[in-house]
């Protein structure tokens, strides 16, 4: 089955820790994206990547980092510099930069 | 950047009723998508519709790009239609999808 997988489904982080969220796609899409959703809100773009080894900051990149070493993988690290990391994180991919985006099931991050 | 406004913010329907959700955007777009977010958080693609009209079963959508709005029609609503409906757009010259705040739909039996 083609699709986007995210892991873990739930993640708990202690203050001061870095955590990495996984996103993998087997759709052979060039572009991948990370979004953050807070309760009752729409999604906001954190980072996106149009091709391997290249990525750009979105609207709320501070406190996050990404890498794109393989076409199918786009991991997101939430660093200790992110002041309010508790949120729902969604990964997406598309064939090209302005094509239909498809979303994974999301990871819920909770800071203890 | 481009602004996206959705209305109404909340909508309660009796099963079987029809509804219209609206999305206004502030500038020219080269991508417009409608999504349904189910109670578990999964975002489901409904339509890719930067212009024109599309239909898929009980759902249809129309985008009038020159007037900067899009409409999502849900006919004969079912309880499984409940959730949040998002409109998202990409402005001309951009690769970023900008989301509205959504319309929360509750369909009651």
Nearest neighbour of A101 by CB, restricted to B1, B30, B33 = B33
| Percent of chain B topping pLDDT 70 | 100
Q: Is the pLDDT of residue B4 over 80?
A: yes
Q: B53 is written with which tokens? A: 């009209």
pLDDT computed for residue A41 by the predictor:
85
**How many angstroms separate the CA atoms of B106 and B109, rounded?**
10
Structure confidence by residue, pLDDT tens digits, B7-58: 999 999 999 999 999 999 999 998 999 999 998 899 999 999 999 999 999 9
Q: pLDDT averaged over chain A?
A: 93
Please list every residue in chain B whose beta carbon sits closer than 8 Å to the beta carbon of residue A48. Answer: 95-96
pLDDT 10s digit of each residue in chain A, 112 long?
569 999 999 999 888 899 999 999 999 999 999 999 998 888 999 999 999 999 999 999 999 999 999 999 999 999 988 888 999 999 999 998 778 999 999 999 998 8
Cis peptide before A8 (omega within 30 of 0): yes
Please list every residue in chain B whose beta carbon sits closer than 8 Å to the beta carbon of residue A97. Answer: 95
Closest chain B C-alpha to A105 CA, distance in angstroms: 5
The CB density around residue A97, as the number of other CB atoms within 10 Å, is 18
Per-residue confidence band for B1, with pLDDT thresholds at 50, 70 and 90: confident
Q: What is the DSSP letter of A99?
A: S
**How many angstroms separate the CA atoms of B72 and B6, rounded?**
11
**How many angstroms separate the CA atoms of B14 and A88, rounded?**
30
CA-nearest residue of chain B to A49? B95
B97 close to A (CB below 8 A): yes
Closest chain A C-alpha to B14 CA, distance in angstroms: 23
Q: B36 is written with which tokens? A: 């349904």
Total length of chain B? 109
Nearest neighbour of B43 by CB, restricted to A58, A90, A99 = A90
pLDDT computed for residue B96 by the predictor:
85
CA atoms within 13 Å, Cβ hemisphere of A105: 8
CB A46 within 8 A of CB A60: yes
Please list every residue in chain B whose beta carbon sits closer than 8 Å to the beta carbon of residue A105. Answer: 40-42
Q: Is the pLDDT of residue B67 over 90?
A: yes
CA-nearest residue of chain B to A105? B42
Nearest neighbour of A48 by CB, restricted to B1, B88, B95 = B95
> Residue B93: which residues within 8 A CB-CB, separation 6 or more?
none
Please list every residue in chain A whose beta carbon sits closer than 8 Å to the beta carbon of residue B23. Answer: none
């Amino acid at each position: 089955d083609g699709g986007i997988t995210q892991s873990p489904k739930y993640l708990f982080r202690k203050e001061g820790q870095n955590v990495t969220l996984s996103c993998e796609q087997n759709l052979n899409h060039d572009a991948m994206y990370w979004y953050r959703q807070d309760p009752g809100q729409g999604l906001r773009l954190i980072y996106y990547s149009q091709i391997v080894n290249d990525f750009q900051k979105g609207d709320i990149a501070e406190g996050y980092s990404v890498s794109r070493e393989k076409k199918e993988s786009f991991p997101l690290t939430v660093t200790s510099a992110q002041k309010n990391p508790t949120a729902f994180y969604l990964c997406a991919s598309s064939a090209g930069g302005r094509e239909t985006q498809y979303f994974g099931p999301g990871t819920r991050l909770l800071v203890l | 950047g481009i602004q996206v406004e959705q209305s109404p913010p909340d909508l309660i329907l009796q099963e079987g009723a029809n509804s219209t959700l609206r999305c206004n955007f502030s500038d020219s777009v080269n991508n417009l998508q409608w999504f349904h977010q189910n109670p578990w958080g999964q975002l489901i693609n409904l339509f890719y519709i930067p212009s024109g009209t599309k239909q898929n079963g009980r759902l249809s959508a129309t985008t009038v790009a020159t007037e900067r709005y899009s409409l999502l029609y849900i006919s004969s609503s079912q309880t499984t239609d409940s959730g949040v409906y998002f409109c998202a757009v990409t402005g001309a010259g951009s690769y970023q999808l900008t989301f509205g705040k959504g319309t929360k739909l509750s369909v009651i039996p």
